[in-house]
Amino acid sequence: MGRSRLVKSNTVRIAISDGDWIDVHRRLNAGEQRKVYDLSRGPDGPEGELKIDRVRAGIATVIGYLVDWSFGEADPSLAIRYKPEAVPAAIDAIDHQTFVEILRAIEAHEAAMQAERTAEKNVPAGAITSDPISPLPSGPE
């Protein structure tokens, strides 16, 4: 039996500057990832090929991953917990440097999760991935 293909809705808290934090999805499920792709899409190219708008892609990544942040504690207009529909407007209301900091934190998280999945795929089936509880004695003492 292999790894689970179900993406559980786990979150990760990431510390950002000034003692603030963001809670993000550990991983996006297929539907969340499709939403990010859809929000990232720019005008189609001349041959109908999909074009990604880099500005939209950053915003889409934040919208896709962001679950909560500490900003809502100080300003109720920025409360987003359990209100995913409020995330785009809340993101638009923060200053640009804060948005960039959040985007960079999410991109680093996304890269770390990708590296973790890659490492998991490279472990042979049935391999022991942790140290034994205690070493076997090498002989009489």
Query: Burial letters for 79-105: b for 16+ Cβ neighbours within 10 Å, e otherwise?
Result: bbeeeeeebbebbeeeeeebbebbbeb
Distance CA 121, CA 13 (A): 25
Query: Nearest CA to 110 among 16, 17, 4, 24?
Result: 24
- The helix, strand and coil proportions of the chain, stated in percent and rounded to the nearest 5, come to 50, 10, 40
In a domain, 79, yes or no: yes
In a domain, 5, yes or no: no
Of residues 66 and 48, more confidently modeled: 66
pLDDT in tens, 89-123: 999 999 999 999 999 999 999 999 999 888 877 76
Distance CA 64, CA 84 (A): 9
pLDDT in tens, 5-40: 877 779 999 999 999 999 999 999 998 999 998 999
In a domain, 138, yes or no: no
pTM recorded for the entire structure: 0.77
Note whether 22 and 63 are within 8 A (CB).
no
Residues 6+ apart with CB under 8 A from 22: 13, 14, 16, 66, 68, 69, 70, 102, 105, 106
Token code pair at residue 24: 């993000």
Percent share of the chain, pLDDT over 70: 84
**Full domain range(s) for residue 51:** 11-109
In a domain, 39, yes or no: yes
In a domain, 135, yes or no: no
Number of structural domains, the chain? Answer: 1
In a domain, 75, yes or no: yes
